[in-house]
Structure 1
Amino acid sequence: MKLALRWHVLLIGFVLGTSGAFAAVRPASSTSAAPLAQRPGHAGIASANALATEAGFEVLAKGGNAFDAAVAVASTLSVVEPESSGIGGGFMATMHLAADNRNVFIDAREAAPAAVNPKDYLNPDGTPNRDTALKGPLSAGIPGEPAGLVWIARHYGKLPLAVSLAPAIRTARDGFKPDVRLLGAIQDEQKNLERWPASAAIFLPGGKPPAAGELWRDPEQARTLALLAQYGDSGFYSGETAQKLVDAVRAAGGNWSLQDLASYRVKERLPITVDYRGYKIITAPPPSSGGVAIAEILNILSGFDLDHLDQAHRVHLVIEAMRRAFRDHNDYLGDPDFVKMPLDMLLSPYYADGLRQTILPDKATPSSMLAPSNGQDPGMHTTHFSIIDADGNMVAITSTVNYILGSTFVAQGTGVLLNDEMDDFALVPNKPNVYGLLGSKANAPEPGKRMLSSMSPSIVIGPDRTAVIGSPGGSTIITQVLEGILAFIDGGDAHQVAAKKRFHHQYQPDVVSVEPGAFDPKTSQALTRMGYTLKEREPWGFMNVVIWDRRSNKLDAASDPRRPDGLGKVQ
């Protein structure tokens, strides 16, 4: 109990005193030496699907920039990777504008409808109702991705929206062959898809999942994308599409209104920036929890000389920093338009100094000594892609419909598969969501409020190399991106960063998830002696990374090798 008391004294004292993979690089016309290159002269894209990456390059070839390419990649992923993202969901983007050396963050996160009622997500005994939180129209927030794509095209792109959306429209209209991940997702969710006639019509043609190698078309989504291309925001958030969305949601027991759609707005926010060992990390602010947690962890670790530690003690310190950051994630973070958060405290190096003093040199701190709660195993959905264009513009976008195939509910006549992001609210305070994350009243649902996210699209600028990085993976997004950043700082190339073996701790459950092969036997034994419970689990994540070496002026792009359809490509 002395350790727990010390933790709270430090916390209170501070308050009072002072968030189909495919990667390709197009050839450069020349290679430059020192001084450091100011622009790459060629482009790199890493995404979760070959068709999406090629869509990005198609738009670049037509005179577009990284932002136009991002619209093409995201919209194509909506068609070919609906198990992870789509126009029925939302995204967060960290972007670098080379011309004026400016960083921006785009919040296209979903929002709660005005008629949201927390009682809809409770069983009669007061426990969370996982079905209404994860399946069907009540689980869906108002989508942000369509508005976000329009915003990026209009404010930062060079091409008409119709040009950037053309590859996705063509793919949906003419068809494509689903990869093994999409086929597996449809099979896994078949019973839920069968609950909704429009979902079954698209995902279960003839009453069964598509066969491998079979051409699959989505003409309704093609039409919805075409209306978005023609009319911009109003092509989705008002008019024909909006009416169909609301009619379908309400007919199935949901509570959307036309006003919910009409009032949705994209928000530009200042990204979080943290300096660590001579590197500048530009990452996601709330309503993402990822950038705050990553910054807090790096601030804690900055006080240790990790390079001169054996693996066991290095991992020990990283886990303890993760543990403390996730505890703060649960207590403080939410939508900044609704919740006042102590970000100055959480991001302060002085606060990190205090947290660092609570870490014992070779002994685990049980989470029960910080505060009791419960959690469960995190899931592995969402998608991420990274882009650097010839002029040095950079885009890191993490996009999601939340759980596998989102709500499994397709709105009749639209082809839009809705998200199930309502589960990312703290529907029942201090009860875990599907990813095992806890939440307080700061993340409770309210009309128009945006649910907390783990999405952590990031840009890392070092003395002579730059990385664009991110990953899907529920609550593990934060630790994946953190470990990727550390691997990049340690000198790893794009393939090494994406392939690095992973471990994860999120405060509760008090277990270290370990990818097979992450630790050698000696390290595992040492961590166990320190008091850690190690739980081996199947490999996770789908990291996509582009690295610009400004010394050689070469780009390196890689997709996560863990996925059976993963492919890294340089040409």
Structure 2
Amino acid sequence: MIKTSVISLFILALMACSDAPQSDLTKQQQDTGQGHKQAAIASAHPLATQAGLDILEKGGNAYDAAIATAAVLAVVEPYSAGMGGGGFWLLHDEATQQTRFIDAREKAPLAAHRDMYLDEDGNVIEDLSINGPMAAGIPGQAAAFAHIAKEYGNLPLSTSLAAAIQHAQNGFQIDRKYQILARWRLDALRDYPSAAEIFLQDNDVPNENHVLVQKDLAKTLTALANNGKAGFYEGPVAKQMVDSVQAAGGIWTLEDLKKYEVVEREPVTSEYRLANRQYKVTSAPPPSSGGIAIAQMFNMLEALEQHHEISWSELDGADEIHLLSEVMRRAYYDRAHYLGDSDFVQVPTDTLLDKQYAKKISKNIKLGKATKSADLGTQQQIYEGFHTTHLSVIDQDGNRVSATLSINLPFGSAYLAEGTGLLLNNEMDDFSVKPGVPNAYGLVGNEANAIAAEKRPLSSMSPSFIETEDKIAIIGTPGGSRIITMVFLGMLEYVRGNPVEDWVSRPRFHHQYLPDVIQYEKDSLTLVEIASLKMKGHELKEIQRQYGNMQAILWDKKNNKITAAADPRGVGSAEVRHIK
């Protein structure tokens, strides 16, 4: 990012951060004086959105604001994301037109191995990969904050983390969403007294007026703010984490923490022509499955329009749902078979993104009849936790961030490392716990996503941009395996020219190849649509709740206007502000 408007108060602090050379994204930084002066933040909690906006007012850029927003989310959404988890960050520098993907996904500990969750008879040990310290991968959130602040930010990390430290130290009032998710994970939280003491009230779900105070977390955030990455991954905080994990039967070591590094990867970038207009999508590469799957779905829509005379843009109702479900089905088939951590397995990215490949796999899509997933080939399935958070940011210079962060299931592993305030993730469950062997449903786990030391589990997190010459969208959402289709549907609202509020609020449906059903939000399909889809051969399953929590921003460059929206299903907020 271009370092603009850095006030003199912070110059010495920035110089002290590091003498290391910075990345290409910061090398050409100059003040163009041509910013659009509007900025926006959309996040899953009002306190987080406010923290990000405050940082922009203090001279921070989009990357500083994203850190501040994410850090507050780590405090106020312990059920979704936190310092004990990780995530993916998509960063774009408007002046240099460079985009970077920061992979801060958790890693398997050094002592992890393929069969670590199996008993001596080869059977899965119930809950071992879900609850407690054995379920936790080495967290990447703190490393992401330190890396992004050092390489791309305008402000020192201590400034960006100040609001999060304050909310952890002084507390905040919980809301209804907190209560719902605490009740869902109540038994697990009760199993670990250190977690129950912080996140429950008298060992039960807190009342709505309860103020959640996390003084140990404030100390951990302060250590990170003052000492950078080493303040978290080395020294007293690291020792407390490892001692607590090992005392409870976990396998973390100090070496695991010291070796953790984020990875900068090339994002998945692809272009399409739909309804006579060109679009560019930039999204997450492996170990995310999102960018490739989204690209494949758009490639198939383009191929259907150009080669098979089936135009998505001319369809509506059941016909549109059917067609989109068919492209979802095929993308998720490839996701289950080929995707994993590209540092460990060979992902056939070029083949999967090839336009001719999209033409081939879409040629048997028929408007009048559903394909059976079993007809696509061998059956494999990927299981994934579903609780995550997302934030979208654009600053007054057009620099932007789309970041999706997670601890996997609500409240992660439910295990809190004593003395640190860190609620640990259970992302190890995102690996194939027992690949190659059919489960009770006859589904076979993905070998490419098998457990290995220092490997990152496959994820659906899909922070993304979609753009034309005159408009740019920043988009993402939580939702486990449904993330990809939610982002895809939101992007299609953008393609239709609908306002940002429609992207985040539209009714959602989902097909992930297996199980072979269209899942849909409660009351989101009409009786006529349901009957028509069944006539085409689809099975349907109504999800008895709303899902997802999309946060999105639209920059209309032609009219120099920004709009933003937070998903009405959540408690988040989106705000556009003029920055001086």
Q: Judge same fold: TM > 0.5, yes or no.
A: yes
Work out whether residues 376 and 509 of structure 1, in 8 Å CA contact, stay in contact via their aligned partners in 2.
Answer: no
Is 1:317 aligned with 2:323?
Answer: yes
Question: What residue number does 1:540 align with?
Answer: 547
Could you tell me which amino acid in structure 2 is paired with residue 453 of structure 1? S
Is 1:483 aligned with 2:489?
Answer: yes
Match of 1:81 among 52, 62, 77: 77
Question: What residue number does 1:522 align with?
Answer: 528
SS at structure 2 position matched to 1:399: strand
Aligned counterparts of 2:270 and 2:526: Cα–Cα separation in 1: 32
Change (3 A) 1:338 1:372: closer
**CA deviation after TM superposition for structure 1 residue 124, in Å:** 5.5
Question: What residue number does 1:243 align with?
Answer: 239
**5+ long unaligned stretches in structure 2:** 1-32, 306-310
SS at structure 1 position matched to 2:116: helix
Work out whether residues 385 and 430 of structure 2, in 8 Å CA contact, stay in contact via their aligned partners in 1.
Answer: no
Identity, % of aligned pairs? 46
**CA deviation after TM superposition for structure 1 residue 186, in Å:** 1.9
Change (3 A) 1:495 1:377: farther
Could you tell me which amino acid in structure 2 is paired with residue 311 of structure 1? G
Aligned counterparts of 1:219 and 1:548: Cα–Cα separation in 2: 39
SS at structure 1 position matched to 2:212: coil
Question: What residue number does 1:64 align with?
Answer: 60
Aligned counterparts of 2:443 and 2:177: Cα–Cα separation in 1: 25
Q: 1:112-136 CA distances to partner (integer Å, 9 max, x unpaired)?
A: 0010133331255534334111100
Question: What residue number does 1:4 align with?
Answer: none
Work out whether residues 70 and 387 of structure 1, in 8 Å CA contact, stay in contact via their aligned partners in 2.
Answer: yes
Question: What residue number does 2:5 align with?
Answer: none
Aligned counterparts of 1:501 and 1:377: Cα–Cα separation in 2: 23
Could you tell me which amino acid in structure 2 is paired with residue 255 of structure 1? I
Work out whether residues 384 and 399 of structure 1, in 8 Å CA contact, stay in contact via their aligned partners in 2.
Answer: yes
Q: 1:511-532 CA distances to partner (integer Å, 9 max, x unpaired)?
A: 1001234333332222111100
Question: What residue number does 1:157 align with?
Answer: 153
Question: What residue number does 1:302 align with?
Answer: 302
Aligned counterparts of 2:55 and 2:396: Cα–Cα separation in 1: 13
**CA deviation after TM superposition for structure 1 residue 567, in Å:** 4.6
Is 1:256 aligned with 2:262?
Answer: no
Superposed, 1:329-344 pairs within 5 Å as: 329-344=335-350
Question: What residue number does 2:169 align with?
Answer: 173
Superposed, 1:109-258 pairs within 5 Å as: 109-123=105-119, 126-258=122-254
Work out whether residues 295 and 347 of structure 1, in 8 Å CA contact, stay in contact via their aligned partners in 2.
Answer: yes
Question: What residue number does 2:564 align with?
Answer: 557
**CA deviation after TM superposition for structure 1 residue 437, in Å:** 9.6
SS at structure 2 position matched to 1:133: coil
Aligned counterparts of 2:426 and 2:228: Cα–Cα separation in 1: 24
Is 1:105 aligned with 2:101?
Answer: yes
Q: 1:53-78 CA distances to partner (integer Å, 9 max, x unpaired)?
A: 00101111110001000110111111
SS at structure 2 position matched to 1:134: coil
**CA deviation after TM superposition for structure 1 residue 307, in Å:** 1.7
SS at structure 2 position matched to 1:106: strand
**CA deviation after TM superposition for structure 1 residue 310, in Å:** 3.8
Match of 2:433 among 427, 435, 438: 427
**5+ long unaligned stretches in structure 1:** 1-36
Aligned residues: 532
Aligned counterparts of 2:381 and 2:351: Cα–Cα separation in 1: 26
Change (3 A) 1:379 1:171: same
Q: 1:228-248 CA distances to partner (integer Å, 9 max, x unpaired)?
A: 001101001010011011111
Superposed, 1:489-528 pairs within 5 Å as: 489-528=495-534
Aligned counterparts of 1:558 and 1:81: Cα–Cα separation in 2: 19
Aligned counterparts of 2:430 and 2:82: Cα–Cα separation in 1: 17
Could you tell me which amino acid in structure 2 is paired with residue 286 of structure 1? P
Q: Which moved more, 1:382-391 or 1:310-319?
A: 310-319
Match of 1:270 among 260, 263, 266: 266
Is 1:412 aligned with 2:408?
Answer: no
Is 1:359 aligned with 2:354?
Answer: no
Work out whether residues 41 and 575 of structure 2, in 8 Å CA contact, stay in contact via their aligned partners in 1.
Answer: no
Work out whether residues 393 and 402 of structure 2, in 8 Å CA contact, stay in contact via their aligned partners in 1.
Answer: yes
SS at structure 1 position matched to 2:100: strand
Aligned counterparts of 1:526 and 1:242: Cα–Cα separation in 2: 57
Is 1:45 aligned with 2:41?
Answer: yes
Aligned counterparts of 1:566 and 1:51: Cα–Cα separation in 2: 9
Work out whether residues 72 and 164 of structure 1, in 8 Å CA contact, stay in contact via their aligned partners in 2.
Answer: yes
Could you tell me which amino acid in structure 1 is paired with residue 270 of structure 2? V
SS at structure 2 position matched to 1:475: helix
Q: 1:271-299 CA distances to partner (integer Å, 9 max, x unpaired)?
A: 00111221111000000001011111110
SS at structure 2 position matched to 1:45: strand
Could you tell me which amino acid in structure 2 is paired with residue 547 of structure 1? L
Aligned counterparts of 1:521 and 1:74: Cα–Cα separation in 2: 41
Aligned counterparts of 2:376 and 2:416: Cα–Cα separation in 1: 43
**CA deviation after TM superposition for structure 1 residue 182, in Å:** 1.4
Aligned counterparts of 2:496 and 2:436: Cα–Cα separation in 1: 37
Change (3 A) 1:208 1:518: closer
Aligned counterparts of 1:431 and 1:70: Cα–Cα separation in 2: 42
**CA deviation after TM superposition for structure 1 residue 185, in Å:** 1.8
Question: What residue number does 1:290 align with?
Answer: 290
Could you tell me which amino acid in structure 2 is paired with residue 287 of structure 1? P
Aligned counterparts of 1:367 and 1:130: Cα–Cα separation in 2: 29
Q: State the TM-score, normalized to the length of structure 2.
A: 0.88
Aligned counterparts of 2:437 and 2:484: Cα–Cα separation in 1: 20
Q: 1:168-213 CA distances to partner (integer Å, 9 max, x unpaired)?
A: 0011001110121112222222221122221122112443332212
Q: Which moved more, 1:401-410 or 1:516-525?
A: 516-525
Q: 1:11-66 CA distances to partner (integer Å, 9 max, x unpaired)?
A: xxxxxxxxxxxxxxxxxxxxxxxxxx974311111000000000101111110001
Q: 1:409-449 CA distances to partner (integer Å, 9 max, x unpaired)?
A: 0001000000000011111115799xx99742211111111
Change (3 A) 1:464 1:517: farther
Q: State the TM-score, normalized to the length of structure 1.
A: 0.90
Work out whether residues 425 and 439 of structure 1, in 8 Å CA contact, stay in contact via their aligned partners in 2.
Answer: no
Q: 1:343-364 CA distances to partner (integer Å, 9 max, x unpaired)?
A: 1100111110100112233211
SS at structure 2 position matched to 1:382: strand
Work out whether residues 378 and 476 of structure 1, in 8 Å CA contact, stay in contact via their aligned partners in 2.
Answer: no
